[in-house]
Amino acid sequence: MAAIGCIYALVAAALMPRFRSAATAPPAARPSVTILKPLRGAEASLADNLRSFCVQRYDSPVQLLFGVEDESDPAAAIVRALAVEYRLRDIALVTGSVLPIANPKVGTLMALEPRIRHDVVIIADSDIAVPPDYLERIVSALQQPGVGLVTCLYRGEPGAGVWAELAAMAIDHNFLPSVMVGIRSGLARPCFGSTIALRRDTLEVIGGFGAFADHLADDHAIGEAVRATGMRVTVPDFVVAHLCSERTARELVSHELRWARTIRALNPVGYAASVVTYPLPFALAGYALLNASRMAGAVLLATLACRLVLALRVDHTLGVAFTRWWLGPVRDLISFAIFAASFFVRTVTWRGRRYRVRADATVAAL
C-alpha cells in the first residue's frame, strides 16, 4: 500500500506543472453577468474576498447580488459598506431565504434567483477570492463549444495559526493532486462551490436552484444536472483562493470531516479507493510490524521523500514559498485519521447546524 501511494504521489507531482496558469484568449463576446454570493456570518477576510469580485476588469455590465438569511447577519453590514465604496457598481443586498429546506445556502440562492437580470450567472462561495481577470477567463471558458458549466479548482490561503496552515495544506497537497489525477484519468467529475458559471437558460433547464434544496453537495448536484443535458463541465487552467480560517483543532476536524463525509456519500467506491493516497500510515505500520527491517525502513524513507516531492511541485506550481514542508507528515496522519473516521460518521456540522447525511447525499436537518 505504501509503495502504491508512492507511485501515486510521483504521478500527481508530474501532472501538477501542466496546471500552471497560462494566458487565456479573451472571450469572443462579453455578455452581461450576474454574480450570486450567498453569505452567512462575517468570517475572516470576508470583505477582501467580496471586494475581489467588485474590482473585475470586465467591460460589460456586472450585477452583484449578495444574500443573507437575516438582516442582523454581520455579513450584511460588510455588503452595505462595499455598496458605498463601489457605488458605481450594480450591488444589491437581498435578505431572507426560501424556508424550510435542508440546505440554507440553496435557500438563499432561491431568494436571489428572481433578481437575476443577465445572461451569464456565476455562483461563488463566500470564502473565495479571485484574480482581476476572473470574469474574462470564466466567460471565455463558457463560450467553448459544448460547455454548459465552468467550475474552478482552488488553493488554500491560510489565515493566522498552525491549524489554518494545516487546513490549507490539506487543500494544496491532498485535494488538488487528487483532482488533477482524477481529471487526467477521466475518473473525476468535478463541480466546486468555488465557482459555478452557467447560462441563465441552462439554469432554467435544470430546474433552477429549487431542484437542489436538500443536497449537501449542491455544487456537485448542479454539475451532474448540467451533464445530464448533454453539455460539458469544464475546469479552466487557473485557481482561485479559498480562505482557511480554522483557529482550533476542533474547527479543522469538523470542517474536514464534513467534506470527507460528503465525498464518501457521492462516490463510495472511489472514496474508498482513495486510501492509496495516504501511504505514510501504511509505511509506519510496515516498519513496526517488520521490526524496523532495512526493507521497511527504505519504504518509509521513500514514502517521506515522495510526499515531499509532491508538496514541492504543488507549492512551486502555485507560487507558494516552500516553508511548510516540516508539517507534511503531521498533515498526512491527520488526513488519514479523517478518512478513517468518515466511515463511522452519520451526521455533519455545517455553519453551526447539524445534519444527518442520507445514502443519496441529501441531508435532513437535525
SS3 sequence of 248-262: CHHHHHHHHHHHHHH
Asked if the structure places residue 183 within a domain, the reply is yes
Q: Are residues 102 and 203 in the same domain?
A: yes
- Is there a domain that residue 18 lies in? no
pTM score of the predicted model: 0.90
* In a shared domain, residues 208 and 182: yes
Dihedral pair phi/psi, residue 304, rounded to 5°: -60, -40
pLDDT of residue 172: 93
Contact 127, 136 (CB under 8 A): no
Q: What percent of the chain has pLDDT over 70?
A: 94
Band (pLDDT 50/70/90 cuts) for residue 20 is: low
Residue 96 lies in a domain: yes
Which residues share a beta bridge with 38?
Answer: 67
Residue 22 has pLDDT above 60, yes or no: no
Q: 24: helix, coil or strand?
A: coil
Q: What pairing do the DSSP bridges indicate for beta strands 62-68 and 33-38?
A: parallel
70 and 204 together in one domain = yes
> Which of 252, 254, 253, 274 shows the shortest CA–CA distance to 263?
274
Is 232 a member of any domain?
Answer: yes
**SS3 state of residue 334:** helix
Examine residue 364 and state whether it is found in any structural domain, yes or no: no
Residue 55 has pLDDT above 80, yes or no: yes
Per-residue pLDDT, 365: 67
Q: Check whether residue 241 and residue 261 sit in a common domain.
A: no
Regarding whether 273 and 219 lie in a shared domain, the answer is no
Of 218, 245, 272, the position where a domain reaches its end is 245
> Is 270 found in the same domain as 238?
no
Final residue of a domain: which of 225, 245, 265? 245
Q: 3-class DSSP state for residue 92? A: strand
pLDDT for 135: 96
Q: How many domains does the chain have?
A: 2
Residue 138 CA to residue 151 CA, distance in Å, equals 8
How many Cα atoms sit within 13 Å of 233 on the Cβ side? 24
Enclosing domain of residue 91: 30-245
Contact predicate 98/71, CB 8 Å: no
Q: How far apart are CA 317 and CA 299, in angstroms?
A: 27
Q: Who wins on pLDDT, 365 or 69?
A: 69
Distance CA 2, CA 255 (A): 27
For 199, phi then psi, to 5°, come to -80, 155
Verify that 300 and 241 share a domain, yes or no: no
Q: What is the pLDDT of residue 41?
A: 84
Same domain, 128 and 181: yes
Do 119 and 166 share a domain, yes or no? yes
- Asked whether residue 22 is domain-assigned, the answer is no
Q: Which residue, 200, 218, 245, sits at the end of a domain?
A: 245
Q: Are 114 and 198 in a shared domain?
A: yes
Do 216 and 273 belong together in one domain?
A: no
Q: Torsion-angle region of residue 97: left (phi > 0), alpha (psi -120 to 50) or beta?
A: beta
Do 105 and 206 lie in one domain? The reply is: yes
Residue 77 scores a pLDDT above 60: yes
Whether 275 shows a pLDDT value over 70: the answer reads yes
Judge residue 224's burial from the number of C-beta atoms within 10 Å of its C-beta, 0-12 exposed, 13-18 middle, 19 or more buried.
middle
Residue 103 included in any domain: yes
Whether the per-residue pLDDT at 342 is higher than 70: the answer is yes
Instruction: Tell me the three cell numbers of residue 257.
Output: 470531516
Amino acid making up residue 97: S
The predicted-structure confidence for 123-134, as pLDDT tens digits, reads as follows 999 999 999 999
Q: Report whether pLDDT(142) > 70.
A: yes
DSSP 86: T
Which domain CATH number covers 184?
Answer: 3.90.550.10
User: Tell me, what DSSP letter sits at residue 362?
Assistant: B
Q: Would you say the C-alpha torsion 303, 153, 323, 263 has a positive or negative sign?
A: negative
The predicted pLDDT at position 46 comes to: 92
- Torsion, Cα of 159, 316, 260, 343 (10° steps): -120
Q: Would you say residue 25 lies in a domain? A: no
